[in-house]
Structure 1
């Protein structure tokens, strides 16, 4: 049943104005994280839906082509901000927003940070290996060895940071972060 069916036109207009403000804010916020504002608007619209929606329904709601809508939905699925769900009697894919903003934040940053972390750790480890080879090739050149040692020390410091970041990401993924920075509960 449509949640708005029991409301007057005036109530619907007021509700839609309020929702548009929030949806616009979500779009701007998502833009800060490297996600297009249109995908943020898509999530915002889905956030207010009481029931799962199809690509066609969201395409109509947002005035976007089905191709653009499909791309946006895929991006939100990759970010774990929406889920594909099963609907009895529906042959089309249905989607619903994940309403847990804490989890959305944790998933989004974990995905982005983990990718950067793995790339950077790989590059730093490779560089340390190359420094080791250079040390063996130039073991009698003290000035060069000193520079290599300094570079190796800086790379080791960077690796310490990435090991820390790895633990931070783990704490987001496991929810352990909330032991240190608790979510606000409904009683506050």
Structure 2
């Protein structure tokens, strides 16, 4: 039986939704988030929790959790539409911006966690240096660790600047968005 145009379109959309779900995993996001992102994206207009629940086969409670996670990652937003009483959710239609949002959200968390750990370890090791009776070997090891922590902090500072480089869209001055795909020809 020959496939109809609608069958082919739906098949292509489903493939794209699944690929978006797989790609989200690369960013440390659950595939459910990617699937919902793809569904809203392919819908090309905002959707309600009920519509998302129906499209995914998941409960509205689960949809609410997924959408909240997406909003926290800056890849979805609640939108207002005149005459619609239910909450509507939309996603960024620009792949580049979605990448930047995910990159920034994930790495900002990493930077923050590691800076907290840096402060804790730096304080503990600095306090240890003040103790009496520290062997020369232990003192040398503590100083090595403090130097390592300093390098670590420099790395996370660099990473913070990289995040800003993406969020400011300065990256596009060096790696411009293109309309043609040179690598897929």
Q: TM-score by structure 1 length?
A: 0.85
- In the alignment, what sits opposite 1:6? none
SS at match of 2:29: coil
Cα deviation 1:23-42 (Å, max 9, x = unaligned): 11111111232222222111
- In the alignment, what sits opposite 1:159? 153
SS at match of 2:82: coil
Matches within 5 A, 1:6-155: 10-138=4-132, 141-155=135-149
| Structure 1 residue 86: Cα displacement | 0.8
| Structure 1 residue 124: Cα displacement | 1.4
Contact map agreement 2:27 2:106 (CA 8 A) in 1: no
Structure 2 stretches lacking a partner, 5+ long:
none
Cα deviation 1:56-106 (Å, max 9, x = unaligned): 122222222211221221121111212211111111111122111111111
SS at match of 1:89: coil
Q: TM-score by structure 2 length?
A: 0.87
Dislocated runs of 4+, deviation >6 Å: none
Contact map agreement 2:74 2:105 (CA 8 A) in 1: no
Structure 1 window deviating more from structure 2 (65-74 vs 141-150): it is 141-150
Contact map agreement 1:139 1:145 (CA 8 A) in 2: no
User: What RMSD over aligned residues (CA atoms) do the two structures have, in Å?
Assistant: 2.1
Structure 1 stretches lacking a partner, 5+ long:
1-8
| Structure 1 residue 186: Cα displacement | 6.3
In structure 1, what is the Cα distance between the partners aligned to 2:156 and 2:128? 24
Contact map agreement 1:138 1:144 (CA 8 A) in 2: no
How many residues end up aligned between the 2 structures?
180
- In the alignment, what sits opposite 2:172? 178
